[in-house]
Each structure stands twice: as structure tokens, then as C-alpha cells.
Amino acid sequence: MERLRPRHREVHIGFTKAETQKMERLLRELGEQVLERQFCQNIAKCFNRSAGRAGKPIVKWTEVQSWLQNRAQELPNVSKNISEQQGIRPLNKALGSSEIPKEEKTGNISELEFEARSSKDGAWYDVESFLAHRSLSSGETEVRVRFVGFGAEEDEWVNVKRAVRERSVPLEHSECQNLKVGDLVLCFQERRDQAIYYDAHIIEIQRKMHDIRGCRCLFSIRYNHDNIEERVRLRRLCRRPTH
């Protein structure tokens, strides 16, 4: 039986259509403030968390900034005052902030609230929408989800209790000191032919001095699905939601 969500995907260079459309919309609505480093970092972080980037290279914030700078030159009406002219408040917080109007949150890649585990590869993907629900004879409930970046042919029924949770949050450099051996995290697994998210436990931490680039610590993790161990940087780890 053919997989609905193949683990092996062709690696594509550049931004996806959805990503370019989102950046262009932000540029038109918010003007040159989207060129700021923090804003570009937030955009890159959101793109990298999307299932639509599975199997593709990680987006760097400098690549986002470069694309926006080039596109801004093609849009003569983009200026620093465009947000004030349109009555839009500046976004000084990370994407997903409560400051964003509610009508922007539905179906928006950057403001997702849930993630679900695919039964096809055991990886976690952002949920675009919940389409239906059903009760099993065991008394458990399943929901049919649509994953961001995938079409209707890849919708799945998943167990609400075991395979749906609040969206994990990318860790900031300042949060590395809060991590300890034994912590459960969501890790961005990078391979030559895939890049997706799996649950993992931290088994060792090598603390290093932070520099201008941020956290330089190394985290040894063990993936829960296959017990493979890997040493990664903080940028590949996400904080699991707490209840």
C-alpha cells in the first residue's frame, strides 16, 4: 500500500509557493518592518516548523530577509509608514502573538495551535484543520485531520488522546539553561532525503559559552521511535507543551 506521506522526499531549493505568498502578504501589509532581523528570524522559524517544509532544506533568516529586500524593491508602494497608513499595528512579538487579529489565525501557517502524529511515519506535523470526529467501540475518539502543506488525499484519522496535542514551541537561546537530561523534546531530524519532527529525550548536555550567534551548547538526544542517538544544536529542538 502506497504511503500517503512518504518519508523520502526530493529535496527542493528555495521557498515553497505558500511561503512566498505569505512573505509577500506580510510585506504588503506591514511594510519595511518585516526586514528587521527579529521579524525575519520569526518567519524562518515558523516556516521550519511547517510540515510543508518536510524534506526540504532549513530556511535561514538571512534568506528570508534577502527575499523580502529584493521583493520590496519591486513594490514601489512599500514603505516604513505603510502599516500606519493602513491602520495596522506593528508586530514586535513573535508570530503567533495574541496581538494578531483573530481573523488572521485560521489556516495561517504561523499561528497554528495543534500538531498531530502521522501513523505513516510516526512524525509530528502541524494541523491545518480538524475535518470530522468519530467514536470507536473502545470508547476512544478519533479526529480526521488535514496537515499543513498536504492535500485532502493525505488526510488521516488519528487518536485524539495519543496523537494530537498543542503545538510544540521552538526554543529560544536563553531557554537552554532550563533544559536537563531526561527532558522530552521535539527534535527536527535532518537527513539527506528528509527533514521532519520526532519526539526525543535528552541524554546528555555539553554546555558551551554563548556568543553573538546565541546558544552554542550541544545536546545528545535519543529519538523515541527508533532509539537512534544524535548530537544537535538548540535550534533543532522544540519545547513540548505542558499541561
> Mean pLDDT: which of 61-65, 75-79, 156-160 is highest?
156-160
- 3-state secondary structure at position 23: helix
What was the pLDDT predicted at 192? 67
Averaged confidence pLDDT in the chain: 75
DSSP 35-82: GSHHHHHHHHHHHHHSGGGTTSPPPPHHHHHHHHHHHHHH-TT--TTH
Delimiting residues of CATH 2.30.30.140 domain(s) in the chain: 169-239
Task: Select the CATH number that applies to the domain covering 169-239 from these four: 2.40.50.100, 3.40.640.10, 2.30.30.140, 1.20.1440.230.
Answer: 2.30.30.140
Query: What's the pLDDT at 55?
Result: 65
**Spatial CB neighbours of 237, under 8 Å, sequence gap ≥ 6:** 170, 171, 179, 185, 186, 187, 188, 219, 221
pLDDT at 84 over 80: no
Q: What is the CA radius of gyration of the chain?
A: 19
What CATH number is given for 114-166 in this structure? 2.40.50.40
Q: List every span in the chain annotated with CATH 2.40.50.40.
A: 114-166
0.85 surpassed by pTM: no
Instruction: With a cut of 70, say whether residue 145 has pLDDT above it.
Output: yes
Give residues with Cβ within 8 angstroms of 243, minimum separation 6. Answer: none
**pLDDT of res. 59:** 82
Region 170-193: mean pLDDT is 87
Judge whether residue 82 has pLDDT over 50.
no
